[in-house]
Structures are given as C-alpha cells and as structure tokens.
Amino acid sequence: MRAVDIKGGAGPISALHITSVPKPAYTPTQALVKVKAFGLNRMDLLQREGHYPVPPGASKILGVEFSGTIEALGKEATGHFQVGDEVFGLAYGGAYAEFIAVSTKMLVRKPGELSWEECAGIPETWITATQALYLLSHFTPGKSILWHAGASSVSIAGIQLSVADSASAVFATARQDSKCEFVTKQLGATACFNTTTQNWVEEVMKTTAGKGVDIIVDFMGASYFQQNLDAVARDGVIVNLGFMGGTKLPAETDISAFIRKRVTFVGSSLRSRDEAYQGELRDRLVEHALPRFRDGRFKVFVEKVLPWEEVQEAHRLMEENRTKGKVICTIG
C-alpha cells in the first residue's frame, strides 16, 4: 500500500513523502479499514519532528483519526461490524495510509448525515474534549469553564459540549480577533479574550465578579501556568493537555493558589491510554455526541480539505496557527 513516510525518520515538512510500505496485518480483534480521509492533529507535527514518542506496538506511520470502509475483519472482532461498513475511528497511529488496522472497539459507524471529511475530523478532537470535560475536570451543569486556544479543534468541540450541557458561562482565549469572533458567534461562547491585546485574567475576573472560572482547559503549559492559577475559582480544576508554551516555570512562580484556593491541577494525554479507557470514551462519544451530529446541534468545523499528495501543505497550515477547525486529507 501507499503511506506517508518521513525521510530519515524525523524532520521538517519537506521530509514528508508518499511511499510504498507493507499493508498492515490485522489481529483477530481488529478490522482492516480502507482509508478515505484522515485528520491532522498537533501531535502529528511533534511526531514528525521526533518530539512525540509513539506508544509501544503502535504503527510509526503518522495519524490517529480516519474514516473509511471495512476491508476485512478478524474472527474475534466485536461490535457487529461487517466487511463494507462505512466507519470512522481512533487509532494509536497509522492513519496517513491507504489501509489501517484498528480495534473494532474504537470504530464508529459513519452517519449518513456527515461526510467522510467531517467524520475523519471527529475522533481525536471530540474524544479528547470529552475526556477533559467529564473524566478529568468532573464538569457538571452550572459550572463555568474556560477553553484556551478557543479556535483549535479540541476547544471547538469542548465549547460546543460545554454550551450544550448547561455550563453557567463558557469562556475562551485566542490570539486573533477573527478567532474570538468565531468562538462567540459560531460556537456560542459567552466571551472570548484576545491574549495579544487583552489581559485575559483581568477580563475573566471582571466578567465573573471576582470569582474566577471553575474549570480551565489549557494546552499552553508554562506560559499560562501563573495566569491560570490567578484566574481559576476556589475549588477549581485546571486541566493541562499540552505544552505549546513550554515546560519550565520561572523561579518567581507563585503556587500559593493550590492551598489558598484549593486548586486541583491534572494533566493527561489520550494516546498513551489503554484500549479499555479509550473505548469508554468512544462509547460516551457515540451516546452523547453522535445524535447531536446527526440533527445538526453539533458541527465539525473543517478549515481545509486537501488531497493527501499535498500533505506537506496540510502540515504547513497547521504550523501557521491560522486555522479555525480541522485540516483533513483525502485519499483517492
């Protein structure tokens, strides 16, 4: 089969190319899926550069989310799937290819209301947002929440989930006015603060009458660490999912909020989780979000669809941080 490879195993965008590799073998509990489309995620950029370790036993081919048709099934596969079924799903790797072997526990039947491209943009981002909201922050209706990088795909999903499940207020941050406008007008967030022109902590405290927000979901790490502690409410939860702003804190960092405000700080990743944990989140996605995709209450925002021959341009779009939603590549 053909697949996207990286010259030298790691490197810049120019190292990406399509080559011929062996078709993956599938186990008795897996399906072999012929890929129609795959979604890009920031971890793909890090893995391409050699900064994201692949989980043990996972394919070294980039990509964790895809849509396609089942080509073959293992004898012990669950879920009542059949050859020819249209599906989308989450994998530990291998989506930038014509075929992928994946556990049927991580497959979802493709709704007729959604395109191949939309379905390829759901698994990683919506499952990550589901994990952050329900398993890590223990969100309940009536709590307030702030999503950093509000126009990123995970936050786009998280904001929609928060609004639908009756958060008292849904805030976001972004670095461009156009992204802030998108987050409030298209996604229904209460307010979005431009971190390049506004002091977002001051704005949060002003908007919440000095209380702060109950939950903060962060992808920046060190650069927002102090500000998150300043903006979170008493008994609040900060969920850290990334380190786009570094991992080293300055010596003057004030961590008194951990005791003074009784703050909980929790970090997590999805790709390193076992199949049972990911399967639970997949079930939540099917039960909680899929009906809302079908009737249009939830929307998959796709910024750009490119043929996979233009995978370099797709990675370039992600690196420029100008997207509002998913970048998707199609095969065929």
Give the pair of three-digit tokens for residue 294.
């079908």
The predicted pLDDT at position 22 comes to 97
Say what the pLDDT of residue 89 is: 97
Residue 330 CA to residue 309 CA, distance in Å, equals: 9
CATH number at residue 132: 3.40.50.720
pLDDT at 321: 84
Would you say how long the chain is, in residues? 332
At 138 the pLDDT is: 95
240 and 147 both lie in a single domain: yes
Looking at the fold, whether 134 and 41 belong to one and the same domain comes out as no
Residue-number span of the structural domain to which 171 is assigned: 126-267
Give the H/E segment covering residue 42.
helix 42-48
The pairing of strands 264-267 and 232-240 is: parallel
Last residue of a domain, one of 237, 267, 297: 267
Same domain flag for 240 and 320: no
183 in the same domain as 155: yes
Q: How far apart are CA 136 and CA 216, in angstroms?
A: 11
DSSP 144-161: EEEESSTTSHHHHHHHHH
Query: Does 178 share its domain with 86?
Result: no
Q: Decide which of 252, 267, 282 is a domain's last residue.
A: 267
pLDDT in tens, 255-299: 999 999 999 999 998 988 988 999 899 999 999 999 999 999 999
Tell which residue, 323, 247, 258, 277, has the closest CA to residue 106: 277
- 238 and 307 in a single domain? The answer is no
Our CA dihedral for 168, 173, 177, 179, rounded to 10 degrees, sits at -80
Q: pTM for this one?
A: 0.94
Same domain for 75 and 206, yes or no, is: no
Tell me what pLDDT residue 169 has. 98
Q: What is the pLDDT of residue 53?
A: 87
Task: Read off the DSSP letter of residue 139.
Answer: -
Number of domains into which the chain is organized: 2
Instruction: Assess whether 22 and 64 both reside in one domain.
Output: yes
On whether both 155 and 118 belong to a single domain, the answer is no
The C-alpha atoms of residue 183 and residue 173 are separated, in whole angstroms, by 9
Asked whether residue 219 falls in the same domain as residue 300, the answer is no
Partners of 169 in the β-ladder: 144
What is the CATH number for 81?
3.90.180.10
Q: Where are the beta strands (DSSP E) in 204-286?
A: 213-218, 232-240, 264-267
* CA 264 to the chain's CA centroid: 22
For residues 50 and 31, the answer to whether their CB atoms sit within 8 Å is: no
* CA pair distance 219, 245, nearest whole angstrom: 8
Instruction: Give Cβ neighbours of residue 40 (< 8 Å, ≥ 6 apart).
Output: 63, 314, 315, 318, 326, 327, 328, 329
In this prediction, the residues of the chain whose per-residue pLDDT falls under 70 are none
Residue that is written with structure tokens 């095969």 in the block = 331
Specify whether the CB–CB gap between 239 and 219 falls below 8 A: no
Same domain for 88 and 191? Answer: no
Residue 325 and residue 205 in one domain: no
The last residue of one of the domains, among 245, 267, 289, is 267
The tokens for 121 are: 């943009």
Q: What is the pLDDT of residue 322?
A: 82
